[in-house]
Structure 1
């Protein structure tokens, strides 16, 4: 086992990198069906509504798992075993997805996969809060949640899985996607320690979950989560179909256009939170939420160079860098940090249930009724509403709050 104090620089980097890699493999498995859908849909004779139901099903059990596992982990003070067991479980679910021969069998596999994966990120964030110094917490949480998940789950997945599906069939893609998680599960078990329990002064009583949800930031983050999770899952579920069916792109072209999103989010995973560490969470949340409108509008209306369309996708997807901020960083900075796993599970779970579950089913119904452009308009509305909500956030970045406190103290003196 790696040795060192809880906040030694080497160990902080290793914890963040390994948890980021693990979550990236998890998202590779989660997104595999979306990128393979142009092959799966005709093979299993699926409607657009059924396509949306796969995302809804996974989001439902993902959310319930996040709510329950995060809470249980906080109460028991046990984190590493939870992440390891969940990682092995979602690998097995990927094998089951590859073996599916009907809509119901594949739907069941997605339900099980969501249950396995949902608790991983809340508990991972809790481990990072315990091990990483506060001044680097935003960056570390951004890297853990977004770097691996987007480089692997959104970047590498379409580039790798589409050619595999063309050459060897879509089932082979699911089988191959399951293997790497077994490796990271072993690395987590043998190289990470159980994070030390936080020691708090009894003079500062713990904030209850009910009191936490009376804070404006927690409520707003939960609402933003609903909207931006909807934006993401609708894009993952329907953008590949829109690009191939409505726009007429070849599957290979669709694959690298979708990979652009992964590259964007991979860079944004540390750039966006790092900027927020320096200038504040609120202005970054506002800017990138509104920037997200260019992606659906570009998909709908831009008819020029594919390279320019890729650039539009790249910059529009920059809002993905906000996810660790509104799901974990801002809530944990606003209330008692001992509630990190619980709040992350609640905020993520709220987004997954009301956004991730309902929006793809709704988008699929709209697509069946009005065409594949309807889900993109749904994305447009979600990011506009999220941008409006960010205007009400209270700044929570430690450096910015500290800088603002100095003049206030001087004035008071």
Structure 2
């Protein structure tokens, strides 16, 4: 059987390994969001402190991702960096369950950000290097859709059930286990990307002087701005939606878990459907359209106060944001540069997004919630998505099918 056509080829293996690795990262990162209603009562946290706990992980995540993502490009090794950090973020999940004060939780979540930050740049660089051209968008989107399935669908159901029956401490202990399992899977089966001689001439190893090309690229900078705006949508929405549902709409913890799970399942589905659509119609129009639809998700939560099934349906239909993330964080920067710079480019978009959207705006949204009510973060999140669509109009199209068509239309060889 042709190994390039077989399902059991390495392209599919690396996609699945990175799917679960990144998914378990966000299972551990988002678990605290769904546990905040329990933690805030136990540790006596206000909305500003909730925002700060979210923010400290984001800023350490951003710094670590840029440093170690660039290091993996410079060294040419992905596996040697990914293995130890996978083990580290799993151990830190256990330590989150041990925290007994705002200060100790702040320290542990900051350390977790240091260990988790490089995962996405390294994972997507590994996937891009072993992806066929026609499946590149789908593969990258599928990896990041794990955030929706594992992080945002399964996690709220499991951790809220465990927190209700046992404690929020036990929930943190439980979500640390899958990452340890993944460490051994990567140790046995992951291999470093192997480029053909032709690819190596263009995409091979780099030295420090070569990195300037990343910071001169228009698409990389626009993608970074979009990242800052769209991560505002993600982290403000996910941080305050569970508290909003239980405080304003008076849903029980289990009902909140079901609504957030529906939003998470929508994120999973749209997370790979969106990039797959972009393989056909182009990255730019897909990104613009999906950003505008994503803005409806927090608006629906702020405006509609309905039954659990209705809220679940609205959450699923509007949770298209995860279809945007693979495009501006990995696909567009990755197609705008040689493969050897992909981890650095992804790390840059992640860094700027985490600093602004993951660090600054959740804290500001927390203060806004204390001042004007929990509806304020929902409108801040929606604004981030709308502005992302506006900035996306300045991107240059990178989808291979669309670029080749444009070149042929202009009588230029593809």
Q: 1:1-400 counterparts in 2 under 5 A?
A: 10-146=9-145, 148-197=146-195, 199-201=199-201, 208-400=210-402
C-alpha change, 1:103 and 1:203, in structure 2 (3 Å) is closer
**2: distance between equivalents of 1:404 and 1:188?**
40
CA deviation after TM superposition for structure 1 residue 197, in Å: 4.9
When the two structures are aligned, how many residues end up with a matched partner? 407
Consecutive unaligned residues of structure 1, counting only runs of 5 or more, are none
C-alpha change, 1:8 and 1:314, in structure 2 (3 Å) is closer
Structure 2 length-normalised TM: 0.94
**1: distance between equivalents of 2:397 and 2:354?**
25
CA shift digits 1:170-217 (9 cap, x unpaired):
000000010111111100110111222564437999894333333321
Answer whether contact 1:6 1:195 (CA < 8 A) is retained. Answer: no
Structure 1 length-normalised TM: 0.94
CA shift digits 1:284-337 (9 cap, x unpaired):
001000111211211111133432322221122202111111011101111222
**1: distance between equivalents of 2:286 and 2:136?**
16
CA deviation after TM superposition for structure 1 residue 57, in Å: 0.3
**1: distance between equivalents of 2:121 and 2:163?**
32
CA deviation after TM superposition for structure 1 residue 60, in Å: 0.4
C-alpha change, 1:36 and 1:215, in structure 2 (3 Å) is same
**1: distance between equivalents of 2:114 and 2:327?**
23
CA shift digits 1:98-149 (9 cap, x unpaired):
0001101111110010000000110111111211112211111111122x22
CA shift digits 1:253-288 (9 cap, x unpaired):
110110112111111122111000011001100100
SS for the counterpart of 1:409 is coil
